[in-house]
Amino acid sequence: MSRIGKSPILLPVGVNFKIDGNKISVFGPHGHLDRNIPSELLVKTQDNIVFIKILNDSKKARSLQGLFRTLINNMVLGVNKKFEINLQLKGVGYRCQVGKNKITLSLGFSHPIELKIPDGVDVIVDANVDIKILGSDKENVGFFAAKIRSFRPPEPYNGKGVLYKEEIILRKAGKSRKK
């Protein structure tokens, strides 16, 4: 039985919550987010508190209750205060530049990699190697960070690649020479 799904969501000051049939909308200082709710769940608000109830006691409904409680909570947190992921480029010649609506990565390939920045996501680059990804939708921010990281994941022998900030790479020893 889901314990997370039963806990209520407190709405902070400045965040508005609207239910329209099976669609919910959350409005806040950093934008608005929408999500469809499955028919097995019922979402209610009362005095700036959001409750997620199940309509039938099936296994699917119980599992969806905890999932959608977490998704709605992430929506409330995102419109109140943006989510942030920091990436760091480690390697000789690795650098990043941000343009009008695209990010250009030089990661040791024969060509630079250009990515379109999704709507609702902001990218800030410091010192050509530190990338800060900001946005109100946790899913989009995490997906974009994972997409950047997928071009050069950190490798354990030299420690080069695209790393999350403060990430520690366990280094492997190289080949040892016979004596």
- Model confidence pLDDT, tens digit, residues 10-52: 999 999 999 998 999 999 999 999 999 999 999 999 999 999 9
Domain at 9-80: CATH code:
3.90.930.12
Which H or E run includes 149?
helix 138-151
Question: Of 9, 13, 1, whose CA–CA distance to 52 is shortest?
Answer: 9
Question: Is domain 83-164 classified as CATH 3.40.50.720?
Answer: no
pLDDT of residue 117: 95
Those residues with Cβ within 8 angstroms of residue 2's Cβ, 6 or more apart along the chain or in another chain = 62, 63, 65, 66, 69
Do 9-80 and 83-164 fold alike per CATH? yes
State both tokens at 146: 């994972």
The answer on pLDDT for 1 being more than 90 is no
Contact (Cβ atoms closer than 8 angstroms) between residue 60 and residue 49: no
Sequence ranges of the domains in the chain: 9-80, 83-164
pLDDT of residue 57: 86
Q: What residues does 82 pair with on adjacent strands?
A: none
* Paired residues of 133 in beta bridges: 85, 123
Alpha carbons 144 and 2: distance in angstroms, whole number: 30
179 pLDDT above the threshold of 80 = no
